[in-house]
Every structure is written in structure tokens, then in C-alpha cells.
């Protein structure tokens, strides 16, 4: 199969099933009780050569097979195997240097013995470290020891100089795990029993490793060394990708990925149970899974497919997740629960509602709000119907909400743009050979010609950026929010198998970049994304998060401007709207909370450790809990409701607050007041 698609930001998922290249999800039928000796299988030589040949012939990015590439693959491979530098020592890395310039030859010849040799050492080091951790559970720990810390982020640290240095890292890690469980109301004896099972389970999984795991890891080190959205899918992952394209699953609607033995939420599927609850967020870490009844099962160190199977279940049944919140400084466990439901990509449809007038400007003026979770097939026709329904309710303007929209169909981004302009170019697409194709709207009809604003955030990407950029370039709408993600590339999915590969093991498939998006004004959406006309305050620094932070991501550049005519100049209106927005924000208590949180985040964002002193951790938790309760009561009082004594007393839906949307409505009312409808003055 050879499929062209616009990849959404985040890990491709089958509701819960992830095709993450970092996850090792081989199908193991029998586990040995010792580290297996792994060697390359016959089909891997053929697969490696085909991957290399396809990238050289068809990839958007041109590259040379030389020692420079070999070194990039070598370094990325080591990071893949030991991302946080908890297993290899500096002497291990020095011994691996003999392979540094061999990966280019290995790929050309299909002989990956060097990669297998490194992986074998990795398995041995992991087994040794986990056994050491089990031994540490016999010790007594002092959780009052001052200045004791766990350094959880070692990506930029030096490799441990020797085994003694690794011993200290693992003392910190085991103590951290124990303290986390203790803070989750486990006794020390219970915590040690949980960790003993966790570490033994991790060792057992090492024994289950097979040759495909090694091949997948090295081929992805190669693929990602070329470009950020290029990857190899093992035969099983390739099968799951095809299932994603055709089927639906019953689960909670989240895309998961394994990172350093932890199951991390990479994306929330719009319209699924997790999305509707608002409890689970990207970057949250799932450490335990339970059913409606019974104990929570510790899943740290589990393989991804096993975690997925535990979370999946029949529609209407309850699943409980023990989660370490990714945005929490206290690193406290939270228990959340969902009712499982069917999650279908085609069911993630746009929704509309009337936004009630909440400002003096908005008296007797209703706004239409259209929330678009993804650019699915049929989106434009659906939005057209929603606009007609809104028109019947005499709306004064429309807000298009693209927050969290990671993209989808290129064609839908073009046709959706066409609802708000009569005709003209929408996006430019440049292929690897330099050819530029212009995607156009040509129906000559404007479906909605009134005031329009587009709300985006840092998770708005790909097709969302195409639409928002076109609205901005035409001066058709005011774009509001955070600078978007900056993904301006197109991927192709291609199987490695051939019809003449009879009676052979399957070869898997690849995803690789074939084209790049450009705005009609000439600039790429890559890296920079779309910078809103009115920027919201944000803790996210664009230079530190998004496509620009993806290693080997394609750069920003420009091509010629397409031939198009803008609507009336709205810069003066934007200046007026920005001044009013800034004044409101300074007087809005909800934005005061946001500014306070941003300040706290900026202070702590570079912190790479967490305290192992129990009283300090408890104090942090209490302060966080108290701040949340205080803000909740302030909100309740502002709404004329009685304050509460604990968060457990908060009634459901008592505080359904979205300050960013509320401010987008205020800006839209301000736009209406300017009379800058744009369309009628073209």
C-alpha cells in the first residue's frame, strides 16, 4: 500500500494503540529466563536495503550516505537505548566508538551486526541495574535527609564515569520510587513489594526481547537521523497502522508511547472519553491501571501493547488510571476514571453552539462558535451545514476554534478555506524535486461573509495551520491565541514488501516526508507555524517547544508569493483590538492566575531534579492543593455561589470556565464594532 497523508502532530494512534517507534511491542510467544543472544534475521538485510533505497530515491530531504550520517545514527541509537543515561557508563560509550563510522556501510550492505552488538550490551547493563535496584530494596531509607535529590532529567548530562556513579543514580531512583508510593498512602513494606514486582517484571521483559526489537530500534535511529517525521514500522506496527486507517476500537481515546519504561500520553483523541472528561492530558504518565473493581495494577516497565490491552475493554465499562500529571511540579499520583466507549476517527466531528453575549458590546448579539477537532473527510460539508444553522439564529460573528487540532486532510483545509473566500490560492506545496503546486478554491462562492476570528494554540498544527494562515494572508479573519506548532510537511506511508516476496517473513513499512507546505504569501508553515494577530499569554516559548525542537526537522524557508488579492487592510483594526485586549487581560482575575502560573513555570522549567525529602514534598503538595482550593472559591464567589471546604465538595460543572474562549468572544465583539468585515470591501 502506498498512502499519501498529512500526518497529525503527536503519535499516530488506534484510539489507544500507538505506532510509536520508541515502543518495543514484538509478539513474544515464549520467554526465556536469561538474556537472549540476538542476531539479525534474514529478512532484515533486505528490509534495510529497501528502506535506504526508498529514502534516497523519494525523500524530500536529500542526504549522503557517509561517515557524517553514520555518526548521527550512532549517537541517536545510543540515546534511543539509554535516553536518560542510567545504564551505560563512559567506558561503555568509549568501547562503542569503534562502530561510530560503520552504520553507513551497514545500511548499504544490510549487515547490522554493529547495532546488534551494542544492543546486546544494553540488555546486559539493564539486567545488572535492575538486579541492583532489587538489592537496594533491602535497605532502610531516611526521607528526612536534607538536600537529597533525584535527578530525573539527565538527557544533557555526561555519561556516568563508572559503576559507582551509576549506583548513586539508582539509589536516587529507588528512593524516589519509594517516596512516590509512600506519598500515595502506601506503607514502606507495600511500596517495596510493588517495586520488587516492577523491577522483576522489567527483567522478564528483557528476556523476551527478540531480533525485530533491535532492528526496529536501529532503523528508527537511521530514519529519524534524516528527518523528524520519518520512521520505520515493524510488521506488527505496520499492521496496526492499517487497522487505524480502517477500524475503530473501544477504549478511552488516547495515543500512548513508551519512554524510559513509562507509558506517556502523547495525544488525546478528539471526541473520546478522555477528551470529554478533560482529566487526562498530553505528557501525563500512566503508572497504574485498574478495572471497576479490584486493585490498581502497577504498569511501570510494561510493554506498550500490554498496557493498551489492560486499558481497553468493552463499551460502557469503567477503567481507572493512576497518573503522574505531566504539568505537576509535585509529581503526585492522581486517580482518574473513565467509561470506555467506541472511538471512531470519523465521529470526531465539528460542533457548533451559540456563544451567549457576555459583554456590553455583546448585548443582544449572539456569536457562533464552531469547534473543529480535526480535518476529517467531510469536514467542509459539515461546517457548511453548521454555518447555515448559525445564520438562522441571527449571529453577529463566528469564532472558529482550532485549539488542539493536530491536522488531517489537506483537501479539507483547502475547501474549508473556500467557505470564507470566493476563490483563490490556499496553500502551496513543494515536492522534493522543487516543483510547486498551488491548491486553490475555485467555486466563486463565499458561504459566510461576516466577521470571523480563528482561535489557535501551540497544539494547532498542519492542516490547522494551512487554514489559519490562509485566513490571515487574505485578511479574512483575525487569528487569536498562541503561536502554532509549526508542522509544514507531508508524509507518505509505504509498505516494504513486494509481490514476489513469497514465503518470507514480513518486512514492515516506512513513513517518510515527500513535500513541504508554504503559505500563499510565500513563507513556510514549517518551524514558525502561524503567529496570531493577537497573542495570548503563554508559558510555552515557541523556540523551546513545537516542530522547531524536533531533531532533524526541516528548516523554515520561503518561496515566491502566489498571485492573490487580499481583502481590506485590517492592521488598524488589529491595533485597536490588541489595545482593548491588553487592557481587559490586566483586569481579568482568570488571566491573573495564568500570569502567575507562567511566572512559576518559568522559574521551575529548567529544574532537572526533585526533592527526596518527604516534608518538602508534602509541603509542595499542600501548597498546590491550597492554591487550587483558593482559586476555586474565588471563582465561586464571583459567580455568586457559596465557597467550599474541599475540592471533593465542588459540584459537577459548577465552574465551566474557559478564559481564552471568553476573551476570543470579546475580541470578536470588538471586531464587529470596528465594521471591518473584510469581505464586502474587497
Q: DSSP characters for 160-201? A: BSSHHHHHHHHHHHHHHHHHHHHHTT--HHHHHHHHHHHHHH
Residues 403 and 448 in one domain: yes
When pLDDT is cut at 50, 70 and 90, the band that residue 13 belongs to is very low
Residue 20, pLDDT > 50, answer no
When pLDDT is cut at 50, 70 and 90, the band that residue 682 belongs to is very low
Which of 201-210, 213-222, 405-414, 570-579 is the most confident on average?
A: 213-222
Which is the catalytic residue, given 487, 494, 516, 676?
487
110-146, pLDDT tens digit by residue? Answer: 999 999 999 999 999 999 999 999 999 999 999 999 9
Residues 319 and 376 in one domain: no
Residue 260 is predicted with a pLDDT of 64
**532 lies in which domain range?**
346-496+506-568
Residues 333 and 363 in one domain: no
- Residues 169-190 have a mean pLDDT of 93
Residues 492 and 558 in one domain: yes
Which of 76-90, 355-369, 650-664, 667-681 is the most confident on average?
A: 76-90
Residues 6+ apart with CB under 8 A from 201: 301, 302
Domain boundary among 538, 568, 598: 568
Question: Does the active-site annotation cover 487?
Answer: yes
Phi then psi for residue 622, to 5 deg, are -65, -40
Residue 538 lies in a domain: yes
Calpha distance 309→304 (Å, rounded): 9
- Quote the distance between the C-alpha of residue 230 and its chain's center: 16
Residue 5, pLDDT > 80, answer no
Residue 72, pLDDT > 80, answer yes
- Residues 516-523 have a mean pLDDT of 96
> What's the mean pLDDT when you consider all of the chain?
86
Q: Which of helix, strand or coil describes residue 400? A: strand
When pLDDT is cut at 50, 70 and 90, the band that residue 1 belongs to is very low
| Percent of all residues in the chain with a pLDDT value above 70, rounded to a whole number | 87
Residues 306 and 194 in one domain: no
Contact (Cβ atoms closer than 8 angstroms) between residue 232 and residue 22: no
Lowest mean pLDDT segment, chosen from 73-82, 117-126, 259-268: 259-268
Calpha distance 636→654 (Å, rounded): 8
Contact (Cβ atoms closer than 8 angstroms) between residue 152 and residue 217: no
Which is the catalytic residue, given 462, 464, 509, 611?
462
Question: CA-CA-CA-CA torsion for 471, 13, 19, 485, nearest 10 degrees?
Answer: 30
Residue 357 is predicted with a pLDDT of 56
Residues 366 and 332 in one domain: no
> What's the total number of domains in the chain?
3
267-318, pLDDT tens digit by residue? Answer: 777 667 887 777 887 778 888 888 888 778 888 877 777 787 788 878 888 8
Question: Does the active-site annotation cover 260?
Answer: no
When pLDDT is cut at 50, 70 and 90, the band that residue 568 belongs to is confident
Residue 3, pLDDT > 80, answer no
Lowest mean pLDDT segment, chosen from 67-76, 130-139, 532-541, 669-678: 669-678
Question: Does the active-site annotation cover 70?
Answer: no
Burial degree of 655 (CB within 10 A; 0-12, 13-18, 19+): middle
Residues 482 and 531 in one domain: yes
When pLDDT is cut at 50, 70 and 90, the band that residue 93 belongs to is very high
When pLDDT is cut at 50, 70 and 90, the band that residue 28 belongs to is very low
Residues 390 and 514 in one domain: yes
Domain boundary among 226, 261, 296: 226
Calpha distance 131→204 (Å, rounded): 11
All three cell numbers of 268, joined, read 488525546
529-554, pLDDT tens digit by residue? Answer: 999 999 999 887 776 777 877 888 89
Q: What is the pTM of this model?
A: 0.82
Residue 199 is predicted with a pLDDT of 93
- Residues 31-49 have a mean pLDDT of 87
Residue 4, pLDDT > 50, answer no
Residue 678 is predicted with a pLDDT of 55
Residues 6+ apart with CB under 8 A from 583: none
Residue 442 lies in a domain: yes
Lowest mean pLDDT segment, chosen from 216-230, 311-325, 435-449: 311-325
- Residues 236-247 have a mean pLDDT of 52
- Residues 193-210 have a mean pLDDT of 91
- Residues 406-432 have a mean pLDDT of 94
When pLDDT is cut at 50, 70 and 90, the band that residue 240 belongs to is low
When pLDDT is cut at 50, 70 and 90, the band that residue 453 belongs to is very high
Residue 327 is predicted with a pLDDT of 52
Residue 413 lies in a domain: yes
Which is the catalytic residue, given 473, 494, 509, 611?
473
Residue 585 lies in a domain: no
- Residues 45-57 have a mean pLDDT of 95
Residue 532 lies in a domain: yes
Residues 450 and 351 in one domain: yes
Residues 321 and 364 in one domain: no
Residue 28 lies in a domain: no
Residue 427 lies in a domain: yes
358-385, pLDDT tens digit by residue? Answer: 555 556 688 999 999 889 889 999 999 9
Count CB atoms within 10 A of the CB of residue 221: 23
| Percent of all residues in the chain with a pLDDT value above 90, rounded to a whole number | 57
Residues 408 and 425 in one domain: yes
Q: Whose CA is closest to 401, among 368, 359, 365?
A: 368
DSSP string covering 642-678: ---SSGGGPPTTTT---HHHHHHHHHHHHHHHHT--S
318-347, pLDDT tens digit by residue? Answer: 888 888 776 554 456 788 888 887 766 555
Residue 230, beta-bridge partner list: none
- Residues 454-479 have a mean pLDDT of 95
Q: At 327, which CATH number?
A: 2.30.42.10
Residue 390 is predicted with a pLDDT of 95
Residue 650 is predicted with a pLDDT of 80
Residue 14, pLDDT > 80, answer no
Residue 221, pLDDT > 60, answer yes
Residue 256 lies in a domain: yes
Domain boundary among 568, 599, 615: 568
When pLDDT is cut at 50, 70 and 90, the band that residue 25 belongs to is very low
Residues 6+ apart with CB under 8 A from 271: 253, 343, 347, 348, 349, 373
Q: At 457, which CATH number?
A: 3.90.226.10
When pLDDT is cut at 50, 70 and 90, the band that residue 640 belongs to is confident
Residues 338 and 359 in one domain: no
Amino acid at each position: 500500500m502506498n498512502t499519501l497523508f498529512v500526518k497529525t502532530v503527536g503519535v499516530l494512534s488506534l484510539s489507544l494503540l500507538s505506532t510509536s517507534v520508541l515502543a518495543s511491542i514484538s509478539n513474544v510467544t515464549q520467554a526465556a529466563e536469561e538474556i537472549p543472544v540476538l542476531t539479525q534475521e534474514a529478512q532484515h538485510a533486505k528490509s534495510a536495503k529497501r528502506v535506504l533505497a526508498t529514502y534516497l530515491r523519494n525523500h524530500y530531504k536529500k542526504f549522503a550516505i557517509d561517515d557524517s550520517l553514520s555518526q548521527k545514527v550512532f549517537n541517536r541509537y545510543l540515546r534511543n537505548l539509554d535516553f536518560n543515561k542510567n545504564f551505560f557508563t563512559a567506558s561503555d560509550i568509549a568501547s562503542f566508538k569503534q562502530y561510530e563510522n560503520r552504520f553507513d556501510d551497514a545500511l548499504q550492505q544490510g549487515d547490522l551486526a554493529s547495532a546488534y552488538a551494542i544492543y546486546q550490551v544494553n540488555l546486559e547493563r539493564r539486567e545488572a541495574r535492575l538486579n541492583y535496584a532489587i538489592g537496594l530494596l533491602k535497605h532502610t531509607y531516611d526521607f528526612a535527609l536534607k538536600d537529597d535529590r533525584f535527578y530525573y532529567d539527565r538527557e544533557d548530562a555526561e555519561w556516568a564515569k563508572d559503576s559507582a556513579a551509576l549506583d548513586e543514580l539508582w539509589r536516587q531512583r529507588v528512593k524516589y520510587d519509594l517516596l512516590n508510593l509512600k506519598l500515595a498512602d502506601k506503607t514502606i513494606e507495600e511500596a517495596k513489594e510493588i517495586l520488587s514486582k516492577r523491577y522483576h517484571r522489567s527483567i522478564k521483559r528483557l528476556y523476551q526481547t527478540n531480533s525485530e526489537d533491535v532492528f526496529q530500534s536501529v532503523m528508527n535511529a537511521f530514519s529519524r537521523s534524516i528527518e523528524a517525521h520519518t520512521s520505520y514500522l515493524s510488521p506488527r506496527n505496520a499492521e496496526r497502522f492499517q487497522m487505524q486507517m480502517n477500524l475503530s476500537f473501544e477504549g478511552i481515546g488516547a495515543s500512548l508511547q513508551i519512554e524510559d519504561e513509562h507509558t506517556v500520553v502523547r495525544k488525546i483523541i478528539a471526541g473520546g472519553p478522555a477528551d470529554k472528561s478533560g482529566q487526562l492530558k498530553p505528557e501525563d504518565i500512566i503508572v497504574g491501571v485498574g478495572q471497576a473493581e479490584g486493585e490498581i495494577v502497577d504498569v511501570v516497565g510494561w510493554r506498550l501493547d500490554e498496557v493498551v490491552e489492560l486499558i481497553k475493554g468493552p463499551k460502557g465499562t469503567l477503567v481507572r488510571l493512576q497518573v503522574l500529571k505531566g504539568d505537576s511540579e509535585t509529581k503526585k499520583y492522581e486517580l482518574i476514571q473513565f467509561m470506555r466507549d467506541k472511538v471512531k476517527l470519523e465521529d470526531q466531528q465539528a460542533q457548533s453552539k451559540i456563544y451567549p453575549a457576555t459583554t456590553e458590546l455583546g448585548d443582544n448579539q449572539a456569536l457562533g462558535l464552531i469547534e473543529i477537532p480535526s480535518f476529517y473527510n467531510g469536514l467542509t460539508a459539515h461546517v457548511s451545514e453548521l454555518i447555515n444553522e448559525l445564520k438562522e439564529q441571527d449571529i453577529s460573528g463566528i469564532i472558529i476554534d482550532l485549539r488542539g487540532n493536530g491536522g488531517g486532510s489537506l483537501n479539507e483545509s483547502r475547501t474549508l478555506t473556500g467557505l470564507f473566500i470566493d476563490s483563490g490560492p490556499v496553500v502551496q506545496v513543494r515536492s522534493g524535486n522543487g516543483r510547486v503546486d498551488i491548491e486553490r478554491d475555485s467555486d466563486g462562492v463565499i458561504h459566510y461573509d461576516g466577521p470571523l476570528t480563528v482561535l489557535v494554540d501551540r497544539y494547532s498544527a498542519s492542516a490547522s495551520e494551512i487554514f489559519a494562515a490562509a485566513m490571515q494572508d487574505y485578511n479574512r479573519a483575525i487569528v487569536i491565541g498562541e503561536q502554532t506548532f509549526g508542522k509544514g510537511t507531508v508524509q507518505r506511508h509505504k509498505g516494504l514488501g513486494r509481490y514476489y516476496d513469497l514465503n518470507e517473513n514480513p518486512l514492515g513499512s516506512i513513513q517518510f516526508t515527500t513535500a513541504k507546505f508554504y503559505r500563499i504569501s510565500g513563507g513556510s508553515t514549517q518551524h514558525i507555524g502561524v503567529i496570531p494577530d493577537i497573542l495570548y499569554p503563554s508559558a510555552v516559548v515557541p523556540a523551546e517547544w513545537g516542530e522547531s525542537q524536533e531533531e532533524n526537522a526541516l528548516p523554515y524557508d520561503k518561496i515566491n508569493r502566489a498571485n492573490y488579492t487580499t481583502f481590506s487592510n485590517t492592521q488598524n483594526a488589529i491595533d485597536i483590538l490588541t489595545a482593548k485586549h491588553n487592557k481587559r487581560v490586566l483586569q481579568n482575575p482568570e488571566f491573573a492566575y495564568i500570569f502567575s502560573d507562567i511566572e512559576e513555570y518559568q522559574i521551575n522549567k529548567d529544574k532537572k531534579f526533585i526533592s527526596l525529602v518527604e516534608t518538602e514534598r508534602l509541603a509542595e503538595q499542600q501548597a498546590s492543593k491550597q492554591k487550587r482550593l483558593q482559586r476555586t472559591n474565588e471563582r465561586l464567589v464571583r459567580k455568586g455561589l457559596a465557597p467550599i471546604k474541599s475540592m471533593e465538595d465542588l459540584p459537577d460543572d459548577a465552574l465551566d470556565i474557559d478564559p481564552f474562549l471568553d476573551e476570543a468572544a470579546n475580541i470578536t465583539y470588538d471586531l464587529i464594532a470596528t465594521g471591518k468585515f473584510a469581505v464586502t470591501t474587497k
